[in-house]
Amino acid sequence: MPATYDLVLKGGTVANHDGIAIRDVAVRAGRIAGLGSFSAEAAGTTIDCSGLHVLPGVIDSQVHFREPGAEHKEDLETGSRAAVAGGVTGVFEMPNTKPLTTSAKTLADKIARATNRMFCDFAFYMGGTRENARFLPEFERLPGCAGTKVFMGSSTGDLLVDDDAGIDLILSQVKRRAAFHSEDEFRLRARKNEQRAGDAASHPVWRDAEAARLCTERLLKLARRHGKRIHVLHVSTADEMPLLAANKDLATVEVTPNHLTLVGPEAYERLGTKAQMNPPVRDRHHQEAIWRALRSGVVDVLGSDHAPHTLAEKEKPYPESPSGMTGVQTLVPIMLDHVNKGRLTLERFVDLTSHGPGRIFGIAGKGRIAEGYDADFTVVDLKQRQRITNRWMESRAGWTVYDGVEVQGWPKGTIIRGRRVMWEGELLGPAQGQPIAFMEALPSV
């Protein structure tokens, strides 16, 4: 009898928008064809998922893969290898490359570099600037564009729009939800003397909570003026959460596993400049507020802010050391460990990494285990204890701040459009990554 389905995931515990239960998932032509109970004989291939949890494919909506321009740190291939090794099926990559992603030409170049070379599916942010603002409605509709990203505070790269007039211009033009790095550049400049040479623990003193609060307050007022949707990236302070909670009709919120897991000053004492990122890892007061906002629903998504640098670069004395750390490969195990410790439910993890990105960015056909959706799955073993190590890292940078940390909960398999790309630690080629589609940018027929 010919097979009815290409693939059946059999006997796994499916965690989805409609609850958690043991169910089979059937796949045909790269899409989900049904949920329920299916015989092994009905499938060309059957994967035994007994004792495992089958989650909708995890989407990491903030990564920096450094290509083009800084391939010595990372490139699209190595970054995507790290993603699928960690159970991530799709990524949104940031525009602060060299050249900057600020035109149709530079976006098309990235898509060409990524297609069938990245192991996961992908979208790329367009950098918003004063110079390209009038073209953003056109750029936002280009295939593979995740939307517009704006840096209001200086970080790695040369994209910076620090003044209200520049943000006002961009917000007057965008149609889709725009993402923002929200730190007040004027305050950062005024407080630069707070940096203490050789002391990474002064990083959150310089880039203080007030710099984040001031910028987010300005951003919310400007977004309200134009009635535009905004997404505030890597929120790191207690001060911002009430502002964002009061503006949930237009503002969505991302937090990172790093801000939920690392805490100052201990992280700086233990890790030095490896713990340096923008916005900074802060003290427990801010971390606890982020957890409260996550539990209360203010937080919409998790993003790793994977921002690799070489060890030689990170080991430069502060403040010559660059900000950023790896994270796409550790997002799933670090957060599953938090699940096992009772800090959030598995359902909330799925909402933050699959349903949330699908909902707020309008991803077409991803983010749920439902008939007709892409057959993207993150298969995990919630009972497995494993030690994260630098040796496990697929990133070209080759290191993680979680080296030596033991977690409970581990990615066993990464399946993208019905094809296994990682299973039990082995990456399975060839790479077949494709652009992610968005409902607000679907092609006309």
Q: What is the pLDDT of residue 91?
A: 99
Determine if residue 157 is left, alpha or beta; phi over 0 gives left, psi from -120 to 50 gives alpha, anything else beta.
left
The token pair that represents 153 in the structure block: 């505070």
HSE (side-chain half, CA atoms, 13 Å) at 16: 21
* Single-letter code of the amino acid located at 212: A
Q: What is the pLDDT of residue 156?
A: 53
Domain map of the chain by residue range? Answer: 58-361
The burial of 284, by beta-carbon neighbours within 10 Å (0-12 exposed, 13-18 middle, 19 or more buried), is given as exposed
Q: What is the pLDDT of residue 421?
A: 98
Q: What is the pLDDT of residues 374-406, one digit of tens each?
A: 999 999 999 999 999 999 999 999 999 999 999
Which positions are catalytic? 305
Q: What is the pLDDT of residue 154?
A: 73
For helices 209-226 and 164-173, what crossing angle results, to 10°?
A: 40
- Residue 147 burial (CB count, 10 A): 27
Q: What is the pLDDT of residue 345?
A: 97
Phi, psi dihedral angles at 196 (to 5 degrees)? -110, 120
What residues contact residue 60 under an 8 Å CB cut-off, 6+ apart? 83, 88, 90, 91, 92, 302, 303, 304, 306, 328, 331, 353
Phi, psi dihedral angles at 186 (to 5 degrees)? -65, -40
Task: Identify the three-state secondary structure at position 444.
Answer: coil
In contact, 357 and 311? CB cutoff 8 Å: no
Rg of the chain in Å (alpha carbons): 21
What residues contact residue 444 under an 8 Å CB cut-off, 6+ apart? none
The token pair that represents 289 in the structure block: 């507020």
CA distance 236 to 238: 7
- What's the CATH superfamily of 58-361? Metal-dependent hydrolases (3.20.20.140)
| Per-run averaged pLDDT (10 residues), the chain, 445 residues | 86 95 98 95 94 98 98 98 99 97 98 98 97 97 98 75 95 98 96 98 98 98 98 98 98 98 98 98 98 98 98 98 98 98 98 98 98 98 98 98 98 98 97 98 84
Long-range contact pairs involving 242-245 (C-beta distance under 8 Å, separation at least 24): 243/213, 243/216, 243/217, 244/216, 244/220, 244/293, 244/298, 245/293, 245/296, 245/298
Q: What is the pLDDT of residue 153?
A: 84
- Residue 372 burial (CB count, 10 A): 9
